[in-house]
Amino acid sequence: MCGVYYIDDDTAKEIERLVRQADEKLRRASAAAISRISSTDIHPSEEAPVLLAEDGGLACVWLRWGFPMQQGQKKGLVFNARCESAAEKPFFRNGIRHRRIAVPATAFYEWDNSKTKYTFQEQGRKALFMAGCCRHYSDVEHFVILTTDANSSMRPVHDRMPLLLEEAEVRDWILDSGRTDSLLRKIPPLLDRAADFEQMSFF
């Protein structure tokens, strides 16, 4: 799963590279969104920068993390969706079909059963891209992050992890509906893992 992640200047630089091919109007709009990025942790219910489709290209905008949900008198926030079933569930289906996004981050965190906090980064890269989708609500547009079975680098800590896209897959995930099913089934790349008490190079 993914419940907290981290963004910083490296995240902003990777977003800039990906939106560089957009037309001038999209680049200006994305530049304003990118300029808001600072070094911080992102939690569910907070706004965060994402990449999505706009006028046939990629744009960076800020959306709110988590789909509000109400069942009877109970209210909640759904911030992850299982990639194996999201395309079939009415709650996520329209977003998977028509409003796919990539969520850039420098790293994300996970806790094991003993409550030890671990930080995960993509090996050899300054940023990682988590697959997601979004939908409109009455206040703003909200997004969720897709999760999949943990790979060997994640499994010692948790049995789920974000569905991570290679940089070359980001545009296909967002813009090419013909790639959606195959990308939903992909195995994420291996990650570097460090416990909270170990020194982290990006802090």
Please enumerate in sequence order all residues whose Cβ is within 8 A of that of 26, keeping only pairs 6 or more positions apart, or say none: 19, 54, 55, 57, 58, 59
pTM over 0.85: yes
Can you give the residue ranges of every domain in the chain?
4-195
Question: Which pLDDT score, from 0 to 100, does residue 72 have?
Answer: 62
Alpha helices in 20-82 (DSSP H): 24-34
Give the pLDDT confidence of 157-198 residue by residue, as tens digits: 999 999 999 999 999 999 999 999 999 999 999 999 999 765
Q: How wide is the angle at C-alpha 109 spanned by C-alphas 148 and 93, nearest 5°? A: 35
Q: Among residues of the chain, what percentage have pLDDT more than 90? A: 79
The H or E element spanning position 91 is helix 90-98
Sequence letter at residue 3: G
Question: Which pLDDT score, from 0 to 100, does residue 140 have?
Answer: 87
Predicted confidence band of residue 138 (pLDDT cuts 50, 70, 90)? confident
Predicted confidence band of residue 27 (pLDDT cuts 50, 70, 90)? confident
Mean pLDDT along residues 5-24: 88
Say whether pLDDT at 78 is over 90.
yes
Beta carbons of 170 and 18 less than 8 angstroms apart? yes
Question: Which pLDDT score, from 0 to 100, does residue 25 have?
Answer: 75
Beta carbons of 140 and 63 less than 8 angstroms apart? yes
Say whether pLDDT at 200 is over 60.
no
Between 25 and 161, where is the model more confident? 161
Number of separate helices (H) and strands (E) present in the chain: 5, 15
Q: Which of 8, 89, 92 is nearest to 48 (CA)?
A: 8
Question: Which pLDDT score, from 0 to 100, does residue 154 have?
Answer: 96
Q: Among residues of the chain, what percentage have pLDDT more than 70? A: 93
Q: What average pLDDT does the structure give for the chain? A: 91
CATH topology of domain 4-195: hypothetical protein yedk fold (3.90.1680)
